[in-house]
Amino acid sequence: MTHSDFSDLKALFINCTLKSSAQGLSHTETLMHDSMAIMAKNGVAVDYLRAADYTLAFGIYPDMREHGASADDWPEVFWPKVSAADILVLGTPIWLGEESSICRVVIERLYAHSGQRNSSGQYIFYGKTGGCVITGNEDGIKHTAMTCLYAMGHVGYTIPPQADCGWIGEAGPGPSYGDELEDGSHAGFDNDFTRRNLTFMTWNLMHTARLIKDAGGFPAHGNSAKAWADGVRFDHPDPEYR
């Protein structure tokens, strides 16, 4: 069985753990690395950011320094990589049943670019593909994935089938993903459900990005924000519709 050449694709993984690198291991990163490895093995240029290592100002503008923030790493560090990536994967732990606060900040900063357009006059994230990776020690993988994937789809990312994966351990304090156990094994590494979903997610992200790139982008008829602003109503059935 053969598959496509993915060597012209770029992927960015943003880890939204609450811990900076100075605080040690990120279990979310450990799971994200499995997806990153599949992509890299198949020729995708993979980049990675651990958001807690940077200063991300609160707000919904591309550069919050222009709106009172004393520092903001989004414009110089994050946006060039987000803009260049065909695939964006958000990784987040679950806290109190939700994605991390840093993940929400990243989502809000993506939304900050909703006023921008691509070369086809569409919203800037049209033609890009999105997914998410979730870890934790409490229920909520599907709920957290739902909010992340909805947000990405709302700003223009294409969400493939089965575009999320995750692992949660036993409820309450205990081993997190990748922690070494007493028998020398690592928590979650042998979980078939997680391994399967991560593999399917990764390939679906690559396949969708490949299809869109080969098509020259997401079709622009009927969804060009620029054309709508110019008065084009894309064959709306009511001729009086404005």
- Comparing 36-40, 136-140, 225-229, the range with the smallest average pLDDT is 136-140
Tell me, what's the pLDDT at 100? 96
**113, 47 contact by CB (below 8 A):** no
Q: How far is CA 103 from CA 23, 134, 149, 190, 210, in A?
A: 18, 11, 12, 27, 26
Tell me, what's the pLDDT at 1? 45
Q: How far apart are CA 16 and CA 144, in angstroms?
A: 13
Give the residue, 141 or 153, on which the prediction is more confident. 153
- What is the percent of the chain where pLDDT is above 90? 73
Residue 198: count of CB within 10 angstroms of its CB = 22
Residue 43 domain-assigned (yes or no)? yes
Q: What is the mean pLDDT of residues 172-200?
A: 73
Q: How far apart are CA 126 and CA 138, in angstroms?
A: 34
Give the residue, 27 or 55, on which the prediction is more confident. 55
Phi, psi of 14 (to 5 degrees): -110, 115
In this prediction the pTM is: 0.92
C-alpha closest to that of 207 among 87, 119, 117, 112: 87
Tell me, what's the pLDDT at 228? 84
Residue 185 domain-assigned (yes or no)? yes
Q: Is the pLDDT of residue 32 over 60?
A: yes
End-to-end CA, the chain: 51
Residue 240 domain-assigned (yes or no)? no
pLDDT tens digits along 46-91: 999 999 999 999 999 999 999 999 999 999 999 999 999 999 999 9
* Domain containing residue 25: CATH number: 3.40.50.360
Residue 158 domain-assigned (yes or no)? yes
Residue 5 domain-assigned (yes or no)? no
Cβ-based neighbours of 77, under 8 Å, separated by 6 or more: 49, 54
Q: In which domain, by residue range, is 41 found? A: 10-229
> In whole numbers, what is the pLDDT of the chain averaged over residues?
90
pLDDT tens digits along 92-107: 999 888 999 999 999 9
Residue 173 domain-assigned (yes or no)? yes
Residue 115 domain-assigned (yes or no)? yes
Give the residue, 68 or 242, on which the prediction is more confident. 68
**Domains in the chain: how many in total?**
1
Q: What is the mean pLDDT of residues 18-29?
A: 94
Residue 153 domain-assigned (yes or no)? yes
